Chain A
């Protein structure tokens, strides 16, 4: 094995320097700054969303978009939703508060002038409810339920690649890993967040984050409450669970 001594005239090639600079250089901000005042390793680790230390949740810095639910932010890597990628929300049946979770995100997407695409929601999307939640329906597009699955996936991929769509919501109960991988890549290339609503969890999904929703019991006092488990998230080393109040965002 070849080793480099300190006296060696030829400095070792940096192993990671190049690999991590390319697509994520924007996270580092201005390149010149990083050259002049070299940041500490701590800072570098905190700023880069693709680097994490498995043992430390708190030290990962803030690079996510806030979910609007402090308890949920607490257990998500980067303290919020990721900037892009695929998100899976698993609820045994529809209506368990899965949309409620995303309302603060939808609002911020609309405020940024981006569009929200709903791909074949299981029922009629009800406009008055969106307006009540503070979501401008002018920037909402719906692809009908009757659309063929192939076409729905195609539209989802295209929408994820388009920068104008800030959020793509799709209801697909089962998708093969290959398709999910493709969607994940599309979302990364368009820096768009895609959300898949599913009934069942699939273990080897390449999605960035998988959330499991569990409804409260039929106790009237707990109507607002929902239990959210982060089954998997890039950056989390074990599933974390929290309880949160869903209906605090109603205006």
Chain B
């Protein structure tokens, strides 16, 4: 083999986009004298960085947001080999010069990435192949990868000749610009470099020139780097077994403080925490704390945990405790009105207080025990009210009350879930005491289309002892009387 330093190792051009073979390239072994010369240069100039570009042509068919989503997931794989992963259209590029020494050579890096990437692509139900290349510039490696040559260029000096062999299609230009280049007889990048710069800038714009300069390492290349999502998890092994949950609170307090410090530094807040209490030889007890409003106040979180603890039964003593954050949210601080006298009465009670209270209620009673109520436009009395569970309350937008949905005739505050049959004796109605009808009837007929027909005459009545009742008589065969509500 010739001097590997001087050649840009590129196989013969393969059909564009097709899967190309891996070129096996030995690591450059530099003669001692040369390396000395190099090190002299290095005192002035940093060693060229090496960018590993991975191009996914199959992503081109997806929408932009989907692309971004998929790239985000694929980027997690590359985190294993590099600390700098940047996003590009349908491509990911990571810096590998710094990790080259650790992994030994570029093939090891490729092997480390190849399998998991294919796996990840399969999971995203995409064809499992990708094109890759490595060279000392970000744009250069992107162009090389696009060409499908899977090339590798170690030194900046060789870039020009390596990139020169690429067809102009890899630039992903607009149709008009492509046509113009074609008409000018330009087929490869090296043809472009033969043309005068000024004229090119005039005809194709400075962006085009910038792209080429970037590829050659003559212009700076700012990148948008991948930032892994935040994660927080901490655990503590207790020095002895603890049976009383109160003893865990100081530990939890310390954990929550750490968490809040973590959140504060990253300008985040959380809305879902999980505490798990570990027992010996048993499954751990998990406490799910999902918040209605995101928080990063350790006092508040501790108070909620205390509430959870207050009606928790543990099957065995606790030997360790672990805390994990399931959901991070952006921190939204509340701004208060500059003018205190802005709204003197309305909404002087901040919602955050209420939310804290509701969270506490939910923690103690469970979500389905706390309800909000709403009216439904419905004739049949028992279907005209709706109890919304706590969790639904958060989701459903409160609707404006339609005044027409409320009947004009009196309705009782308290409705019996099951109507109670009344006794009719000697022409008089009895519940516990005799009943006198005050007003009525109001006829309600509904649900004739379903099996259970509702045909009733409603009356307002007064019991001898002073209870105000809402009673009805069925209009079907038996004509029984029922108690349906209290006017209270």
Contact = CB atoms under 8 A, between A and B. Distances in A.
A104 interface: no
A132 B375 CA distance: 11
Contacts of B462: 216, 218, 220, 223
A214 B464 CA distance: 11
Contact of A100 (B361, B438, B488): B488
Given A96-B488, A128-B407, A163 B349 contact: yes
Interface in A78-95: 91-95
Given A123-B485, A129-B413, A154-B364, A140 B354 contact: no
Contacts of B353: 162-164
Given A95-B467, A162-B357, A140 B373 contact: yes
Contact of B414 (A95, A143, A215): A95
Contacts of B464: 217-218
A196 interface: no
A96 B467 CA distance: 4
A95 B486 contact: yes
Given A97-B488, A123-B415, A218-B462, A164 B357 contact: yes
Contacts of A46: none
A97 B349 contact: no
A195 interface: no
Interface stretch (B196-204, B258-266, B384-392): B384-392
A233 interface: no
Interface in A27-53: none
Best-surrounded residue of B349, B398, B436, B488 (most CB of chain A within 10 A): B488
Contacts of A175: none
A240 B486 CA distance: 27
Contacts of B369: 143-144, 146-147, 151
Interface string B346-389: 11110001100110110011001111111100000100111100
A127 B468 CA distance: 18
A125 B385 CA distance: 8
B466 interface: yes
B438 A220 contact: yes
B409 to A, nearest CB: 9
Q: Binding site of B, secondary structure by majority: helix, strand, loop or mixed?
A: mixed
Interface residues of A, number: 55
B467 A94 contact: yes
B440 interface: no
A170 interface: no
B372 A137 contact: yes
A141 B371 contact: yes
B412 A216 contact: no
A149 interface: no
Nearest to A215: B466
Contacts of A136: 401
A178 B466 CA distance: 32
Contacts of A96: 465-468, 488
Nearest to A102: B488
Interface string A205-217: 0000000011111
B93 to A, nearest CB: 52
A21 interface: no
A195 to B, nearest CB: 12
A146 B369 CA distance: 8
A183 interface: no
A126 B485 CA distance: 9
Nearest to A138: B398
B345 interface: yes
B375 A147 contact: no
A137 B411 CA distance: 15
Contact of B410 (A98, A99, A132, A138): A132
A113 interface: yes
Contacts of A214: 466
A54 interface: no
Contacts of B465: 92-93, 96, 215
Which 4 pairs across A and B sit closest by C-beta, in order of nearness? A215-B466, A95-B486, A95-B467, A123-B414
22 contacts: A91-B466, A93-B466, A97-B468, A97-B487, A123-B415, A126-B385, A127-B385, A128-B406, A129-B411, A131-B406, A132-B411, A136-B401, A137-B373, A137-B401, A141-B370, A144-B368, A144-B370, A147-B369, A165-B357, A213-B466, A217-B464, A223-B462
Given A126-B384, A147-B365, 19 more contacts: A91-B466, A94-B414, A95-B486, A96-B467, A98-B488, A121-B414, A123-B415, A124-B417, A125-B373, A125-B385, A125-B413, A128-B407, A141-B372, A142-B371, A142-B372, A143-B365, A143-B371, A218-B463, A220-B436
